Each structure stands twice: as structure tokens, then as C-alpha cells.
């Protein structure tokens, strides 16, 4: 296994629900290093740029609207096999199908309001991390 970085986002529903701290605790308890984090509020154009890969999907507009409804917390996480391990900790997109103890099982309310985002591949992680963070903002621990 190799050490990887991945992007994680605590989405607006989780921030508004007051569970961001509990999600961060799960991240740290899971052995991830948080190399960068900040609270932002995306515009529709920011969200559309980030989710451009989904532009032709029927849920694109509602996803962008959802991501602009309040602040979110993008983070850079690091760990061996971080991408898959973060996806495992997040749980299935549909919280009703997520495994017990995962973030989405514990904190998400629907497929759309699913509390967190994570990169799905090494190439995606590089692109997504650079969307929110420049090199000076990412700190090795």
C-alpha cells in the first residue's frame, strides 16, 4: 500500500446539522492525517465547476444548489490507501444502504443530503484537491 491524499468535504447539511466536529473526530479516529481544512461557502458557479463531470446528469442542478445552501468544509486527508479507506468510512451514497458506523449511516439523511464527499480515484483526488487548495495551504504532519 502507498500513502495517498484524498479530498474530503463535509457538506452543507452536516455543517448545518452541527455534526462537523463529530465527523472530524471519526476522520482522526480512523487514522487519517488532516493536512488542510477550511470552511467556505461555494457559489453556484464554484459548485458547477467542481461537479463539472456531472454536468449532463439529471441531478447536476440540484446538486449544485444543495452545495451552495450553506458553508462546507473541504479537507485534504492523508493515509495509506486513503482514497479507498475514506470511501469505506463514508459509507454508501444512500445512507439507508450504508454500513453501521459509517459517516453516512450516522449523519446523512438522504442520497442527496449525504453529509460528505470523497474523491473516487488518484487522478480525481489530485484535481479535486487543487480545486480548493494551493500547495502553500497543504501542510505535511
Q: What is the CATH number of the domain that holds 113?
A: 3.30.70.141
Q: What is the mean pLDDT of residues 134-140?
A: 91
26, 79, 85, 117: which one is catalytic?
Answer: 117
Q: 16 is written with which cell numbers?
A: 448545518
Model pLDDT for residues 85-100, shown as the tens digit of each residue: 999 999 999 999 999 9
Q: Are 102 and 89 in contact (CB under 8 A)?
A: yes
Question: What percent of the chain stands above pLDDT 70?
Answer: 99
Q: Does 54 qualify as catalytic in the annotation?
A: no
* pLDDT level of residue 141 (50, 70, 90 thresholds): low
User: Residue 52 falls within a domain, yes or no?
Assistant: no
Model pLDDT for residues 54-97, shown as the tens digit of each residue: 999 999 999 999 999 999 999 999 999 999 999 999 999 999 99
User: Residue 49 falls within a domain, yes or no?
Assistant: no
Owning domain of residue 8: 3-42+72-137
Q: What are phi and psi of 8, to 5 degrees?
A: -125, 145
Task: Give the pTM.
Answer: 0.95
Which pLDDT belongs to residue 140? 76
Amino acid at each position: 500500500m502507498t500513502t495517498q491524499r484524498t479530498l474530503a468535504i463535509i457538506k452543507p447539511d452536516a455543517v448545518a446539522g452541527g455534526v462537523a466536529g463529530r465527523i472530524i473526530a471519526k476522520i482522526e479516529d480512523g487514522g487519517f492525517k488532516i493536512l488542510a481544512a477550511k470552511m467556505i461557502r461555494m457559489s453556484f458557479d464554484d459548485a458547477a465547476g467542481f461537479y463539472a463531470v456531472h454536468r449532463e446528469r439529471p441531478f447536476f442542478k440540484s446538486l449544485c444548489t444543495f452545495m451552495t445552501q450553506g458553508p462546507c468544509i473541504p479537507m485534504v486527508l492523508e493515509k495509506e490507501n486513503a482514497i479507498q479507506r475514506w470511501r469505506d468510512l463514508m459509507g454508501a451514497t444512500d445512507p439507508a444502504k450504508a454500513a453501521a458506523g459509517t459517516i453516512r449511516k450516522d449523519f446523512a439523511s438522504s442520497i442527496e443530503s449525504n453529509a460528505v464527499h470523497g474523491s473516487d480515484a488518484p487522478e480525481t483526488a489530485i484535481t479535486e484537491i487543487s480545486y480548493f487548495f494551493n500547495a502553500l495551504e497543504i501542510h505535511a504532519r
